[in-house]
Amino acid sequence: MSIDNIMKRLTEILGITRDVLEKKVGRTIRIMSYRGIDYVVLREDVGGYREGTIVLLNDEKIIHGYPGIRRLALLEGVPLHMVDEIIVEEKMNGYNVRVVLAGNKVLAITRGGYICPYTTARIEKMYGDRLREALSEYEDVVLAGEVIGTENPYVVYEYPEARGFDYFVFDVMKNGALAPLSLRDEIVDKYGLKRVPVLARLNKNELEKLREIVDDLDRRGREGIVIKDPMHRVPPLKYTTIYINIKDIEEGMKYPFDEGRSYLFSRIIRLVCQAYEYGLSDEELDHIALRLGRAVLRPAVESLKKRSMGRLIAATYKLVFPSEEDLRDYLEFLEELGVDVVVKIIGTSREGVKAELMKLKDTHGYYSKILETGYSPLD
């Protein structure tokens, strides 16, 4: 399809004037293709469409972006924003994937609006038939869920229930809006899909119960909760555990000039509010302070030592491609996006092709400079 043709189709499908769209091509609007499916990604909010919205040009289908979820600093905020009854769900720590059907193909779409060939291949292999059936019956529905586990190129976090890779549905979307949770449950149950753990159905004023749930997740090393109105009459809220806030810092500080930098302040503020709301004693605070201090320093020092020994400061991801073709498609996708990574094939087994993906971090460069010059890159 020519650019001109694509723009014409896009204005028709989205109902946005051509000059508004034209200015955005290349930056906000990105044209991509996957296995003969031409699609457009909205990388920012445009003309009333949310960031992460994707348009399948052949099917003339708009798949709206998944809405952002407001974070609570204090659980005390719950009664202020919810209506009456609330559903408390586990917030799983993975990456957001919308699943749709295009023709007969199951597509896995990332939060940003890209059809991820890797995620698509893994989900197809695990749930392809069930998803095809479900989405043929519920034609106007988009599934939204979290991919969790250790075998992906985005968020690596171990879940005993995921064994490498799995997909847990948390919402169903219709015309860009979140549908009542009863519809999600109906579809998940009918087609044998998995759903994020639903932890409780409470009244919005039951803060003590809410706290117990969060404490339990904290002890179990889980991320947190999402609080939803059963009908999504008001937007959901998210709240995370002390455990994950510190854990994120520990992971992020392997790369102080990358995630480390951006994680620190937000997570510290989360901890400050938690300490206040939980009424932590000086002794409890000291205990957290030690964990926090370790999380800040240890991984960062470890990485600097590693660099001084000539090693690369890079994040590595384990991937398992169901087929050679899936691997090829994924490599092509990376090239199209222009991301700078190295993919190493480890070997082939019954499960497919095992590979390792390496992303060099900015910290590698910063640390190299520090070690070469002795200068600090910051004042």
Q: Is 91 in the site for ligand ATP (CB under 6 A)?
A: yes
Closest distance between ligand ATP and the C-beta of residue 231, in Å?
15
# residues near ligand ATP by CB under 6 A: 13
For residues 6 and 55, the answer to whether their CB atoms sit within 8 Å is: no
For residues 86 and 75, the answer to whether their CB atoms sit within 8 Å is: no
Q: Is 146 in the site for ligand ATP (CB under 6 A)?
A: yes
Q: What span, in angstroms and rounded, lies between the C-alpha atoms of 59 and 63?
A: 11
Closest distance between ligand ATP and the C-beta of residue 254, in Å?
19
Closest distance between ligand ATP and the C-beta of residue 236, in Å?
6
Closest distance between ligand ATP and the C-beta of residue 248, in Å?
10
Q: Is 248 in the site for ligand ATP (CB under 6 A)?
A: no
Residue of the chain from 51, 89, 218, 326 that contacts ligand ATP (CB under 6 A): 89
Enumerate long-range contacts of 30-34, CB under 8 Å, 24 or more apart.
31/3, 31/6, 32/114, 32/115, 32/336, 34/107, 34/115, 34/117, 34/120, 34/329, 34/333
Q: Which residues are within 8 A (CB) of 310 and not within 5 positions of it... i.e. 6 or more apart?
A: none
Q: Is 92 in the site for ligand ATP (CB under 6 A)?
A: yes
Closest distance between ligand ATP and the C-beta of residue 90, in Å?
6
CA 101 to chain centre: 20
Return the number of other C-beta atoms located less than 10 Å from residue 351's C-beta: 12
Q: Report the residue number, 51 or 151, with the smaller CB distance to ligand ATP.
A: 51
Q: Is 64 in the site for ligand ATP (CB under 6 A)?
A: no
Q: Is 61 in the site for ligand ATP (CB under 6 A)?
A: no
Q: Which of 91, 110, 101 is nearest to 42 (CA)?
A: 110
Closest distance between ligand ATP and the C-beta of residue 319, in Å?
20
Q: Report the residue number, 124 or 146, with the smaller CB distance to ligand ATP.
A: 146
Binding to ligand ATP by CB under 6 A, coded x per residue (else -) over 316-355, reads ----------------------------------------
Q: What span, in angstroms and rounded, lies between the C-alpha atoms of 311 and 123?
A: 35
Q: Is 360 in the site for ligand ATP (CB under 6 A)?
A: no
Query: Per CB under 6 A, which region of 22-30, 62-70, 209-217, 334-342 contacts ligand ATP?
Result: 62-70
Q: Which of 278, 301, 297, 299 is nearest to 289 (CA)?
A: 297
DSSP secondary structure letters along 250-317: HHHTTSIIIIIHHHHHHHHHHHHHHHHHHT--HHHHHHHHHHHHHHHHHHHHHHHHHHHTT---EEEE
For residues 14 and 49, the answer to whether their CB atoms sit within 8 Å is: yes
Residue of the chain from 170, 191, 330, 333 that contacts ligand ATP (CB under 6 A): 170
- Both structure tokens of 71: 């974070």
Q: Report the residue number, 168 or 191, with the smaller CB distance to ligand ATP.
A: 168
Closest distance between ligand ATP and the C-beta of residue 336, in Å?
23
Residues at the contact surface with ligand ATP, assessed by CB under 6 A: 66, 68-69, 89, 91-92, 96, 146, 170-171, 196, 226, 238
